[in-house]
Chain A
Amino acid sequence: MKVYLHGPPRSGKTARLAAQMVEWLNRGVRPDHILALSASRPQAGRFREALGRAAATGSTGQPRIGTFYGLAQQHVGLFFPLVGQAAGFADPRREPAFIDVEAAQYFLNRIVEPRITDFDELRLTRPRLLGQLLDNAHKAALAGFGLDEIAARLSAAWSGDPRRLKAYQRAQDIALEFRRFCLDRGALDFSLQHDMFARHLLQETAYRKFIAGQCRYLLIDNVEELPPIAHDFVRLALSGCDEAIVVEDDPGGFRLFLGADPASARRLRTVCDTVEEAVAPIQDRPIAMFGRTLAAVVAAPAEAPSAGRAAGSRWPRVTLLASKSKFWVSMVQAAADQIIALTGQGMPASAIAVLAPYVEDVLRFELEERLRGAGLRVRAVRPSRPLYDHPVARGLVTLARLGHPDLAAAETRAAGVSTHEIARALTVALAGLDPARAKVLADGAQRVEAGRLPMISDKGVWDRAGMRFRERYEALSGWLSTWRMAESTGSTPPLDVWWQTLFAEILSQPGFGLAADGDGANVADKLVRSARVFREALQATGVAPAQSIAADYVGLLSEGVLAAQYAPERESETGEDGVLLAPVYTYLTGDYRSQVQIWLDVNASGWYDRIHQALTHPYVLSRSWQAMQARFEAEGQADVAMQWSEEDEHRARQDMLRRVIVGLCDRCGDRLYLASSQLGLSGQEEAGALARALQRAL
């Protein structure tokens, strides 16, 4: 039996998937015949938990649990010899190098550099330009069309200044050149992997037979968050398997900007034996009911504004916070007061989520400041924040500039590390060191030797900074100078290895900065991995000499070119205690649930805005758009319909806002607080679509 199961969150779908796995295993199905895919790695964890509950796993291997992206990468690597030539690799016998987004941006930057004036009509920062160029390649691959279609699609949808068409063409030319670079150098970036997977591997008879043999039992969670080529794969697997459950969360499609295509997912219903709807009675879930009412208001034709009832009269569990306050900070204060009151009444902090369209550093800071007094922690989840914005990442970069032989040598030629940077790095490295004492130390160090972290013998410095830091400081200083000495011996470790060693030998030791800082250790780990993949990509493609890799990496990181903004596969930072603080989309794609939600900045237009980019377009470069166009063409109105109209835009935004509202409310168990201020963080007054809908719904 192959079941397509759809329904809202909290209707028991995932539980059913897990139970099904247990049932199969208990029934004696060969574990390695089971394939369970989720939209993200943390979500795949639910299958692993289920696996633990199965009474006995069979003798033959383990069920394959993971994400689609992981599977695609694995299978492309596995079957590379079969499809490498057809994909156009210059040397299909050479083992390909998988490169990550950072490395791809680095290579792309080299291609863009001489042609930067091609985009004069636009005013984009370099990281944005690179991001959008790469995005086009990703979108084409995930929707399953060729890079040579990008310009034609974007152009057909554009009705304005014709100069933009040239920019589209140039964007496509660069994407194609980047692709040629990858094929020549044996590099597999995200787009090429998925292009190979969809357009070559899925067509190979041998591969199809392999899937038919291996994937007898299929569990797919959150199919609406997957891209069309994943649906192609699921379709193939469904055609040959014995039993399957495909689950769609409705509303969903929150990963639209990462290629998710709910309409494409829904087309899988036709290849399942039965379509079931998971029902979650919402009568006893007032917030879910509120969400549906609010979503309906978004879509309904507007009525004239009327004198509003007092909030909460119809929705006793929905409360307005701070709506009269003028400034943003008062709104944060009101949210903090509410949190303190709730926890005072016995609500665990971890049951509370604070959500906003964007979570700026200052929001986290102000919230933490206000909650600290009540002994409450803030657990901020902001996966799309550039790594370099984190103080720990910056601190590690500074330490590398002070001690890594390749970088330290470059520093002596350049402006050098500033006292300010050294002070900040010290607050990261030495646990408990405040910024003022850090500056005392940094100043003291600079007086001994500029741009270094030398031993300090001046007693006056230690009197002020505190003797308790001396031993640790000296350990760090000694460690760095030992490495700097290595310069002369020529045994330079790669930057990632150097950082790993620094972490293992110093920073993770008791009394040092990352010993008790889980978040910080996590950042360090990410930085190490990012640097390693970058190095491996550069080494494999042979584009840069080994000595310059570390400097290239640090340079691009600090310029923001390696912003790591696009990453379909992300792990959530976990940690159970504390009030969750997350951007709305992160909360939704991470499938979090909470008893209490506090929505901040409900006046902000960010609730309604999608990310508009001049050189790419999530709808026009999607498969559903293609399907829609085909239909229009059949009806003989191709020219008109190809354009992305204001009406399309309006509909798409409304649709997304409705999904966000329902998605959030379905994930809220008990109480919802809506907080706003007259002026936003930047001092501007806003009245976005959510605020207008709320005025009508409340």
Chain B
Amino acid sequence: MSETTRPAFVLRPEQEEIARYDGGLMRVSAVPGSGKTQTLAALTTRLLKSGRIPPEGEILIVTFTNSAVDNIRARIRAMLAAEGAIADVGYKVLTLHGLAYFIIRERPDLAGISADFAMDDELSGRQTIPEAARAYQRENRDYWLSFIPSELGPARRDKAEESWGDKTEAIAREVIRMAKNLRWTSADLLARLAEAGDEPGGRSAVSPFLRMGARLYERYEDILRSGGRLDFDDLIWRAVAALDNDEGFRRRLGERFCYILEDEAQDSTPLQEDILERLSRERGNWVRVGDPNQAIMTTFTASSVRFFRDDFPRRPGVRGLPLSVSGRSAPEIYALANRLAVWSEERHPEREARQLALSAATLIRPTDPGDPQPNPGRAPGGIQSKRYADDDARADAVARGALRFVVEHPEATCAILTPTNVFGEKIVARLEINQGRRERPLYEDHLRNSVAVRNVAEVLASGVALCASPQQGKALMELRRALRALEDASARQPRQDHVDALLRSAWAERLMFPSPLAEPALPERVEVSPAEASEMQALAGRASKWVRASVLPIDQLMLTIAHDTFTLDADLAIAHSLATSLRRVAALHPRWDLAELAAELDNIAANRQQFLSKSLLETGFVARPGIVAVTTLHKAKGLEWDRVYLTCMDTLEFPHDADAPFRGEAWYLGGRDPALEARAQLEEIATALRESRPANMDERALARLARLEYIAERMRLLYVGITRARRELRISWSERRASGANALALALSAQGLESNDTPRP
């Protein structure tokens, strides 16, 4: 992944073919590790040099995360600089949200908002859906409770109510996102439901969960509206509206963005396609690059993956090219990934899932001899699969195995990937116990928040807390601890030392703001070495600037602290995101003081609140040799390690039978998954409307479709997990889990990975 591993301009033949693109619609199916970013950068450079970009024109590159933006931009810069060209002219790299911001900032009047609009994000918006759900439950208490069987005893009933509350929020999340991607307001949605569901005799065929979702959406809209706020989907929707509200504006942007290169296109949402379709209408130059087998990021995977895989090439004149050569993995590993794809497409027991899950159209091919980034060699026993009696035994064995590996191979990288945070935390607990007392920890917990996010949040939290209580020596001490943890870049808290004790007993005001009387800052008879004194003085000098800066708005205060502290671009990028988010939180709670805002940051530092949780790559993660990284399968996307542990590879996490029980289904609802059903039905109503046919409102068929889509999504997640490994893969599962008896996922057992053996050739 690093820029130094390969010269910037050596392209493989497939990459070369893509970089020769000069216009029109093109779809690139890129397998994991095939040099997608490099190819996009090369393509951009070629276009810039070709003279095809008019003076006011730009190539627009849209990608998924801010870190991908930085990565692509850095490569383009490097390539252009290597050729002596101006590095910053003629292209723009943005995330989808960045693009929406850009459009709205050009013409907020067309978008119908003021330029300083308030935003809901992962942090500031975390209460909005729960709030909407509570409002709905309050207003419809009896109806809402009627879903829980009346015969339950009090204890079971409480449990069911609690779970039903969570499910209600899940319904809201699914329906709201889906409706927004259709660009339907709650009023639109209710009207469409009335049309779709009207049956003779006044019965409605609309699922009660979807109806509930529409009402939840209504409450949600009320909350956002009363605060003058937008969420991320609104932002993109408003950008689409701005383009629709002025044809001349759309045309000007369409002419400006004369080429559109879309990265990670398999995770694109309908709203993203709405924007890019409008921008590409002028010139018709749109390149979509993605891997349909790795679509795991959005709720709309099914429809979007289909669009990327099938619809886009069906347009007239679309060229489809593969990026199939990958030097990432050893032969056994890419062979397993390929076998999985073929099995999924040809032999999956659910026939309908064959179309939805993995595609075998582009299989992974090894590099040619002489490739600067060749595949690792064959390793005997590279893939191993192991069955355990239960989760505890498995967590312990996995932790021990991973620790042994990094101790024996300090030069190698290693990760433990889990489908859920809950099991990940079990593993972390075992790692902590098994590593014993070591100076430096052998593992990093990147489950809820990455180590970098926690470290940055902790420095900012302690900096802001100091501004809230500048008279406390303890606040100075906490700040020092956070700064030391950052320097150490480890997950472990630095041990208390003498300076900590000195700071705790110090009069902070005398340290930071010495008076003309020069009163001593420490109690008498305390011994201080010159080194300690100068360390404290330096810290106090830095801190006093921040305390003086505490009159600034919270985001500006945080940026002041950040720029005085962080040297890594990735840390600064996290600090910027945190500052923006805290500004939104402060706008939502105008009476909060610095202590309360610091507490918000502390929630992130202490893993009580997730931040930048989409992907680990987003937080600037770089795999460190000799350290076990623990994270989720979802967050591992885009990363690679020498050895990868895939945990919980069982039929509960990766189901294959649409009629078997699924995780997440509610026992008190007869095994239904309300959110999934609501989403499937809404999708069907929208599709029917688009295709001018009556919607198939058969509840059983929709529930089945929902399950098939879930099966497919989990297949892709499995594929992502396997392709994270460079040399070795360790697969594990338990016979017994809390939810019952269990077996190895069929997708794996069908490849011959039963237990304790490598796959049959």
Contact = CB atoms under 8 A, between A and B. Distances in A.
Interface of A: 120-126, 128, 159-161, 164, 301-305, 307-308, 326-329, 360-362, 365-366, 369, 391, 415, 418, 420-421, 424, 434-437, 439-440, 443, 464-466, 558-559, 605, 609, 611-614, 617, 645-647, 649-650, 678, 681-685, 687, 695
B84 A360 contact: no
A612 B56 contact: no
B88 A687 contact: yes
Given A123-B225, A605-B105, A128 B116 contact: yes
A420 B468 contact: yes
B114 A159 contact: no
Given A436-B512, A612-B109, A646-B246, A304 B55 contact: yes
A302 B55 contact: yes
Given A329-B563, A614-B111, 18 more contacts: A125-B118, A125-B228, A304-B54, A327-B563, A329-B559, A361-B552, A365-B552, A391-B551, A421-B593, A434-B512, A436-B513, A440-B471, A558-B590, A613-B109, A645-B248, A646-B247, A650-B252, A684-B101
B571 to A, nearest CB: 12
Contacts of B248: 645-647
Interface string B686-717: 00000000000000000000000000000000
Interface in B310-354: none
Contacts of B229: 123
Interface string B225-245: 100111000100010010011
A82 B341 CA distance: 89
A440 B513 CA distance: 13
B222 to A, nearest CB: 10
Interface residues of B, number: 81
Contacts of B512: 434, 436
Contacts of A682: 576, 580
28 contacts: A123-B117, A125-B228, A161-B245, A164-B112, A302-B55, A308-B86, A362-B557, A362-B559, A366-B560, A391-B551, A424-B551, A436-B470, A436-B547, A465-B509, A466-B517, A559-B590, A605-B105, A605-B106, A609-B105, A611-B115, A612-B107, A614-B108, A614-B112, A645-B246, A646-B252, A683-B577, A684-B98, A684-B101
Contacts of B549: 362, 365
Top 7 A-B residue pairs of the complex, sorted by shortest distance between their CB atoms: A160-B245, A646-B248, A683-B576, A302-B55, A436-B509, A362-B556, A436-B470
Contacts of A647: 248
Contacts of A415: 591
Nearest to B225: A120
A695 B224 CA distance: 42
A118 B64 CA distance: 36
Contacts, number: 175
Contacts of B228: 123-126, 128
B112 A420 contact: no
Nearest to A368: B548
Contacts of A164: 112, 245
B509 A124 contact: no
Given A439-B469, A612-B107, A361 B590 contact: no
B211 interface: no
Contact of A420 (B53, B115, B569, B594): B594
Given A124-B228, A128-B114, A437 B249 contact: no
B294 interface: no
Contact of B86 (A305, A439, A614): A305
Nearest to B470: A436
Interface of B: 51, 53-56, 73, 84-86, 88-90, 92, 98, 101, 105-118, 224-225, 228-230, 234, 238, 241, 244-249, 251-252, 467-471, 507-509, 512-513, 515, 517, 545, 547-553, 556-557, 559-560, 563, 569, 572-573, 576-577, 580, 590-591, 593-595
Given A160-B246, A614-B114, A682-B576, A365 B560 contact: yes
Nearest to A679: B576
A129 to B, nearest CB: 8
Given A123-B230, A415-B591, A614 B251 contact: no
A330 to B, nearest CB: 9
Nearest to B113: A123
Nearest to B244: A160
Contact of B114 (A125, A361, A369): A125
Nearest to B234: A123
Contacts of A558: 590
A437 B513 contact: yes
Contacts of B55: 301-305
Contacts of B509: 434, 436-437, 440, 464-465
A539 to B, nearest CB: 29
Contacts of A684: 98, 101
Contact of A435 (B113, B234, B470): B470
Nearest to B512: A436
Nearest to A419: B593
B81 to A, nearest CB: 12
Contacts of A617: 109
B89 A695 contact: yes
A434 B513 contact: yes
Given A123-B225, A160-B246, A464-B471, A307 B513 contact: no
Contact of A124 (B86, B113, B569): B113
A305 B57 CA distance: 10
B556 A159 contact: no
B593 A305 contact: no
Task: Name the residue among B56, B89, B224, B507 with the largest chain A CB count within 10 angstroms.
Answer: B89
A396 to B, nearest CB: 14
A365 B553 CA distance: 11
A9 to B, nearest CB: 30
B576 A302 contact: no
A329 B556 CA distance: 11
Given A362-B556, A443-B471, A435 B548 contact: yes
Contact of B85 (A307, A437, A612): A307
A481 B356 CA distance: 75
Contact of A418 (B84, B92, B593): B593
Contacts of B73: 685
Nearest to A329: B563
Nearest to A360: B556
Contacts of A443: 471
A439 B580 contact: no
